Amino acid sequence: MSILVVGSVAFDSVKTPFGEKEHILGGAAMYFSVAASFFTDVRVVGVVGDDFGAAEEAVFEERGIDISDLERIKGQRSFHWKGEYGYDLNVAQTLDTQLNVFADFKPKLSDDARKNPYLFLANIQPQLQLEVRRQVPARIVAADTMNYWIEKTRPELTETLKEVDILIINDSEARELAEEPNLVRAAKRILTMGPKRLVVKRGEYGAVMFTNNSYFAAPAYPLEDVFDPTGAGDSFAGGFMGYLAATGADDENAMRRAIIFGSVMASFGVEDFSCERLRRLTYEEIAGRARRLRQITHFEESDMPRRAV
């Protein structure tokens, strides 16, 4: 089944301890859609400017991603983010943000877009997320957000969360949203806000998933080379939602397997700048890392040894 993603298609300028790239393709909807496209059909709703050309279109076309709902604004430039990472690749320092066409973004959904059974609301203004949600009677709706919206638009975000099935955010965002320093207590509070599941991205430490009666944790895939973590969270979400849409399953075991595939896609995404590693990716590589992650987390049950007294 197909997925609709609404969010940013942008350009990034990124510097890490391992290299530097200027004006490379980025944006939450881009990373999400490329990762999810390995599992199912994806349609993107977003906005770009004149600087989005044939080379950028080719990234989506080669993965069979539908960008017919990607709005083009003549005479303007696309959203641009510039950031730098130190050796703690979980933390990005924003050096410059130019909203450009994204400043007045109002998602425009075609009739075909509204029919998608899976919806991912990438990190955009909560009121826009809610407007899209109410136009798309999707089977499963997942959303992302960030500290800025939590701090500046909490009432609107609270309304949006009431209509979301799965919230996918990082641990600092979870703690701030819940106003609770302990992640377990924060998760319990967030689950009273509307989402049935909370998935917490923890960068190089993996991901955890909470429901009202279950908890699941998966490690990140161990990597020696990490070049650009910018799209890791959105690649994770793409793998997670892509797996769910491809299988049509929504039980606990399916959600746990989706976490594994989310972690796998994130691991590939960080191995090069922009989506270049994902563009070179094969299904055999995805399956291999999924098997390896299962091996890493598996152990045989046995009786607990007891000291003789």
Q: Residue 192: phi, psi to the nearest 5?
A: -85, -10
pLDDT band at 19 (very low <50, low <70, confident <90, very high): confident
Burial class (CB in 10 A: 0-12, 13-18, 19+), 250: middle
Q: What pLDDT score was predicted for residue 270?
A: 94
**H/E element, 151:** helix 147-152
Cα separation, 309 vs 297, whole angstroms? 33
Place of tokens 């992650």: 293
pLDDT band at 87 (very low <50, low <70, confident <90, very high): confident
Of all residues in the chain, what percent carry a pLDDT higher than 90? 86
pLDDT band at 116 (very low <50, low <70, confident <90, very high): very high
Q: What are the structural domains of the chain?
A: 3-297 (3.40.1190.20)
Tell me which of 124 and 297 has the higher pLDDT.
124
Cα separation, 223 vs 21, whole angstroms? 21
Sign of the C-alpha dihedral computed for residues 119, 122, 126 and 131 taken in this order: negative
Strand pairing partners for 200? 169, 208
pLDDT band at 9 (very low <50, low <70, confident <90, very high): very high
pLDDT band at 297 (very low <50, low <70, confident <90, very high): confident
Q: What is the pLDDT of residues 150-165, one digit of tens each?
A: 999 999 999 999 999 9
Query: Is the pLDDT assigned to residue 89 strictly greater than 80?
Result: no
pLDDT band at 300 (very low <50, low <70, confident <90, very high): confident
Cα separation, 115 vs 118, whole angstroms? 9
State the DSSP code for 145: -
**Strand-by-strand arrangement of the 166-170 sheet:** 66-72, 42-48, 3-6, 118-121, 140-143, 166-170, 197-201, 207-210, 215-218
Q: What is the pLDDT of residues 26-81, one digit of tens each?
A: 999 999 999 999 999 999 999 999 999 999 999 999 999 999 999 999 999 999 99
Query: Is the pLDDT assigned to residue 262 strictly greater than 90?
Result: yes
pLDDT band at 237 (very low <50, low <70, confident <90, very high): very high
Decide: pTM greater than 0.85.
yes
Query: Is the pLDDT assigned to residue 91 strictly greater than 80?
Result: no
Q: What is the pLDDT of residues 166-223, one digit of tens each?
A: 999 999 999 999 999 999 999 999 999 999 999 999 988 899 999 999 999 999 999 8
Q: Residue 63: phi, psi to the nearest 5?
A: -100, 5
The structure tokens listed for 303 are 């009786």
State the DSSP code for 39: T
User: Phi/psi zone of residue 16: left (φ > 0), alpha (ψ -120 to 50 degrees), beta?
Assistant: beta
Cα separation, 221 vs 60, whole angstroms? 26
Q: What pLDDT score was predicted for residue 149?
A: 94
Q: Residue 7: phi, psi to the nearest 5?
A: 175, -160
pLDDT band at 92 (very low <50, low <70, confident <90, very high): confident
Query: Is the pLDDT assigned to residue 100 strictly greater than 80?
Result: yes
Helix (H, G, I), strand (E, B) or coil at 40: coil
Q: What pLDDT score was predicted for residue 216?
A: 96
On average, the pLDDT of the chain sits at 94
User: Do 173 and 146 meet the contact criterion of CB atoms below 8 Å apart?
Assistant: yes
Helix (H, G, I), strand (E, B) or coil at 172: helix
Of all residues in the chain, what percent carry a pLDDT higher than 70? 100
Crossing angle of helices 28-36 and 232-247, rounded to 10°: 40
